[in-house]
Amino acid sequence: MNLSRKHLLTAAVVVVAAVAVLLKYWDYVLNPWTRDGQIRAEVIQITPRVSGPIVSLPVVDNQFVKAGELLFEIDPRTYAASLDQARAQYDMTGDSYQAQEKQIDSAQAQTDAARAQIRQAQSGIKELDSQIIKNKAEFERQQELLPQRATSQKSVDRARASYNISLEKREGALASLAQAEASLAQAEADLAQNRASLGALGDNNAQLRQARAEMEQAALDLEFTRVLAPVDGYVTNLNLRHGSQAVANQPALALVDINSYWVDAYFRETSVGDMRKGDKAIVTLMSYPDKPIEGHVNSLGWGISQSDGSTGFELLPTISPTFEWIRLAQRVPVRIHLDSVPEGVALRVGTTGSVLVKTGSAEQ
């Protein structure tokens, strides 16, 4: 009897254990879990835009800074002098531009005056032509009257003189017209040359634009001597010292953006089939095992690298054969967005933890 009871008890324990294992396995299937999770964040490389010695370094390594706070300052004196020089050059260019404008105005005035002289000369020639016709007719009439003794020789000579004078005046007017036309051609040439030398007018002038651009660049370079924090975050890997040389476009320190933390969790490929974006997740960091962090699935990776593949003959991949009876599941990266961080939990990039995803919990 006792033996039967022992057998029944043993069987019951086995059944309970089997059920527990099945329930645990089913829970694992519904809520996949991994120990391979890491804290990530956007790490911004702080790179100066200009070179020079450090004259101010108000931060220390691992210090928290606000966006817009001064990280370090490069000696601004050289760049301030360059800005003054660029401003002076801009003023000189503006003065030269105004002087050229005055030359253009003067050349335009000379052109207008030459055109007025041409119009005046043409009008005078037209009047002289009428006078010539009139004087010629009078001279011919006097010549016809002289044989008839209806006029005197003096009247004929007087008419001849008036006719010749009008012809001489016309020759002088033609010479004045030619001189006015030559003056107009010279004035137009000077005007065209001055306009070509000046270029476009106003804000479209190339020389003014270049001088303005150089002045603005000098102002930017001076502004770039003050390197400010672009975001709220923690200073890390600070190797600068007061007096050390900052080099343009060379990273000087890193800044961890405190508003960009997430978790990269690596699940077996057999566990991600039912995962969806938005599924709730629980992250437990090794540094804070008693303070789980709530989050949700932000995205699932769409590819992983091939560890044993390389380019071989004819550009085809070379795959080393494997003879394992058990095929190891690949691990797929899953990004977890952290919804809320418990008070007292300090997130640090690279620290690890476990991640549990509740499949099917995404809001529809």
CATH 2.40.50.100 domain position(s) in the chain: 48-75+225-250
CA distance 134 to 162: 10
Contact 253, 236 (CB under 8 A): yes
| Architecture of the CATH domain 30-42+257-358 | Beta Barrel (2.40)
CA distance 90 to 207: 9
- Per residue, the 3-state secondary structure of 267-304, as one string, reads EECCCCCCCCCCCEEEEEECCEEEEEEEEEEEEECCCC
Task: Please name the residues in contact with 333: beta carbons below 8 A apart, sequence gap of 6 or more.
Answer: 264, 265, 266, 300, 301, 304
10 Å CB burial of residue 252 (0-12, 13-18, 19+) is: buried
Please provide the DSSP assignment of 156-183 as one string: HHHHHHHHHHHHHHHHHHHHHHHHHHHH
Q: What per-residue confidence (pLDDT) applies to 165? A: 81
Q: Which CATH number fits domain 48-75+225-250: 2.40.50.100, 3.40.1500.10, 3.30.420.40, 3.40.50.720?
A: 2.40.50.100
Query: What class is the 79-219 domain?
Result: mainly alpha
CATH 1.10.287.620 domain position(s) in the chain: 79-219
CA distance 174 to 187: 20
Q: What per-residue confidence (pLDDT) applies to 22? A: 53
Strand partners, 246: 52
Contact 208, 153 (CB under 8 A): no
Q: What per-residue confidence (pLDDT) applies to 27? A: 47
Residue type, 159: A
Residue type, 71: L
Residue 353 CA neighbour count, 13 Å, CB half: 28
CA distance 184 to 353: 90
Residue pLDDT tens, the chain, 364 long = 455 666 666 666 666 666 555 545 544 455 799 999 999 999 999 999 999 999 999 999 999 999 999 999 999 999 999 999 999 998 888 777 776 777 777 777 778 777 887 788 777 778 877 777 887 777 677 777 767 776 677 877 787 877 778 777 777 777 777 777 777 777 777 767 766 665 555 566 678 788 889 999 999 999 999 999 999 999 999 988 999 999 999 999 999 999 999 999 999 988 888 899 999 999 999 999 999 999 999 999 898 776 655 555 566 666 566 656 666 778 899 999 999 999 999 999 999 999 999 988 877 6
Instruction: Specify the 3-state DSSP secondary structure of 283.
Output: strand
CA distance 148 to 155: 14
Q: What per-residue confidence (pLDDT) applies to 272? A: 87
CA distance 106 to 96: 15
Instruction: Specify the 3-state DSSP secondary structure of 356.
Output: strand
Q: What per-residue confidence (pLDDT) applies to 209? A: 82
CA distance 309 to 160: 117
Structure tokens at 253: 């320190």
Structure tokens at 200: 């476009």
Q: What per-residue confidence (pLDDT) applies to 30? A: 54
CATH 2.40.30.170 domain position(s) in the chain: 30-42+257-358
Query: Model's pTM, two decimal places?
Result: 0.66
Q: What per-residue confidence (pLDDT) applies to 287? A: 94
CA distance 161 to 43: 105
